Amino acid sequence: MEHRISSLFYIRKTKMTRDKLAPIYIRITVNGQRIDQSIQRYVEVTRWWAAAGRVRGNSVEARQMNVYLDTLSSKVLKLEREMVQDGQVITVESFREKWMGIQHRPRMLMEIFQQHNDQLAALIGKEFSPATLERYNTSRDHTKAFLQWKYRIDDIDIKRLNYEFVCDYEFWLKTQRNCNHNTAIKYISNFRKIINICIRRGWLQKDPFLGFKMTKHEVERDFLTEDELQTIASKDFGTERLHHVRDIFVFSCFTGLAYADVQKLKRSEVARGIDGDYWIFTSRQKTETASRIPLLPTAVDILEKYKDYPVCVNSGKALPVLSNQKMNAYLKEIADVCKIHKSLTFHIARHTFATTVTLSNGVPMESVSKMLGHKNLKTTQHYAKILDRKVSDDMKVLKEKFWG
């Protein structure tokens, strides 16, 4: 960042001493703004050379005074040079602190990380979910463990952060924490938010992430085929517990709602839409993006089944959703009973809605994207890539065009 700095000396005749001596002041100008300070030296008005900002004459006193003034001028240049070398932004405020000898305690990474998480915690339920806080707390703990592993310290001055630090952190996540590539990048993305805070506040002049690639590897997402979905939907499990979990899972398969959105879905968010049928009018907890979803008959039937369920009546919730951990544990039982050889988790329901239920049946990608609450179409396109049937249908259109 460019800056302009200069200094000069002058006297103030309005503040004469009883001995008729005028105090000498230094004026340091930084980017057009002034710092005026008495240097605690005095001179006779007739002996002051205003144009040069020095004392006239060749007496011992005059020479000593001028040497002292030269020393102060050199100090201004020296402090400017030090700030440039340290990468500090030179403003009138920062230079005044340097000139006055005000020492700032180093800004420490883990302190800043904790302050960020404390502020995030205060906004739970307003702007963030508990899951977001948990993710940043885990990222904070990983960062602290890395500092212990790499430097044997609990905290570090942010000015020591550089490209090597980021690369070593990624290596540690993959080797010491056994994170796969995408998981490591997620933790580093959380860490990068803290770095961006430091940069925006002017605490860091150089981005440690400059040149660091944060591209995720594309992952093939699991989803249920039409036969697998039908098997689960029609299976008699013999226990109310599994029937209960199956119903909520199937509801998500036919609405595309993620676990957090099904869990918070209120009965009041289900209403008649523009076509007179039932729709869901909600917003995604993850992105706060609006979702408008026309309900298919299967989803309507499940809502009707649980409308008088005591938990739903008392809470106003649309469905009695268990904890995500329990849901996923029971879904593994369901997969075993149905002989489905996939790692069945609740999130597979969302993928199933995007692929098997909608895109595979000709629902335009723009409509699917809107129902899923995606912020851009690129996110939805990942689902289309994994559909062999979609590729096959597209090629049939091409065959008919050329070979009709």
Are residues 317 and 248 part of one domain?
yes
Q: Which H or E element spans position 283?
A: strand 278-283
Phi then psi for residue 158, to 5 deg, are -60, -20
Instruction: Tell me which residue of 216, 219, 198, 215 sits closest to 207, measured CA to CA.
Output: 198
Closest CA to 26 of 12, 45, 43, 47: 12
Amino acid found at 367: S
Query: Is residue 208 assigned to a domain?
Result: no
Tell me if 69 is assigned to some domain. Answer: yes
The C-alpha angle with vertex 280 and arms to 356 and 349, in degrees rounded to 5, equals: 30
Helix (H, G, I), strand (E, B) or coil at 330: helix
For residue 216, tell me if it sits in a domain. no
Shared-domain flag, residues 76 and 146: no
Model-level pTM?
A: 0.57
Last residue of a domain, one of 41, 69, 100: 100
> Which of 200, 235, 259 is at the close of a domain?
200
Dist. CA 302–CA 280, nearest whole Å: 14
Together in a domain, 131 and 39: no
Domain of 308, CATH number, reads 1.10.443.10
Evaluate whether residue 289 is within a structural domain.
yes
SS3 sequence of 29-81: EECCEEEEEEEEEEEEHHHEECCCCEECCCCHHHHHHHHHHHHHHHHHHHHHH
- Domain assignment present for residue 192? The answer is yes
Same domain, yes or no, for 238 and 359? yes
Express each pLDDT in 225-249 by its tens digit.
899 999 999 999 888 899 999 999 9
Q: Which amino acid is at 18?
A: R
From the centroid of its chain, how far is CA 258?
A: 21
Distance of alpha carbon 129 from alpha carbon 349, whole angstroms: 21
Strand order in the sheet with 21-30: 5-11, 21-30, 33-44
> 259 exposed, middle or buried (CB, 10 Å; 0-12, 13-18, 19+)?
buried
Residues 353 and 242 in one domain: yes
Task: Specify the 3-state DSSP secondary structure of 376.
Answer: coil
Answer yes or no: do 260 and 370 share one domain. yes
d(CA 324, CA 279): 24
Partners of 59 in the beta sheet? none
* Whole-angstrom distance, CA of residue 330 vs CA of residue 322: 10
> Domain range holding 88?
5-100
Run of H or E including 245: helix 240-253
- Identify whether residues 25 and 153 lie together within a single domain: no
| pLDDT tens across the length of the chain (404 residues) | 578 999 999 999 999 999 999 999 999 999 999 999 999 999 999 999 999 999 999 999 999 999 999 999 999 999 999 888 877 778 898 899 889 887 677 889 999 999 999 999 999 878 887 888 999 999 999 999 999 999 999 999 998 999 999 999 999 999 999 999 999 999 999 999 999 999 998 888 889 999 999 888 877 778 898 999 999 999 998 888 999 999 999 999 999 998 988 998 999 999 998 888 999 988 766 656 677 889 999 999 999 999 888 888 889 999 999 998 999 999 999 999 999 998 899 989 988 998 889 888 888 888 888 888 877 777 777 776 656 555 666 677 777 777 65
Q: Are residues 34 and 160 in the same domain?
A: no
Q: Answer yes or no: is 166 within a domain.
A: yes
Q: Residue 290 falls within a domain, yes or no?
A: yes
Task: Indicate if 346 and 251 belong to the same structural domain.
Answer: yes
Same domain, 356 and 241: yes
- Judge if 196 and 233 occupy the same domain: no
Structural domain tally of the chain? 3
Nearest to 47 by CA among 7, 15, 11, 18: 11
Domain boundary at 79, 100, 121, which?
A: 100
Residue 178 domain flag: yes
Indicate whether 247 and 350 sit together in one domain.
Answer: yes
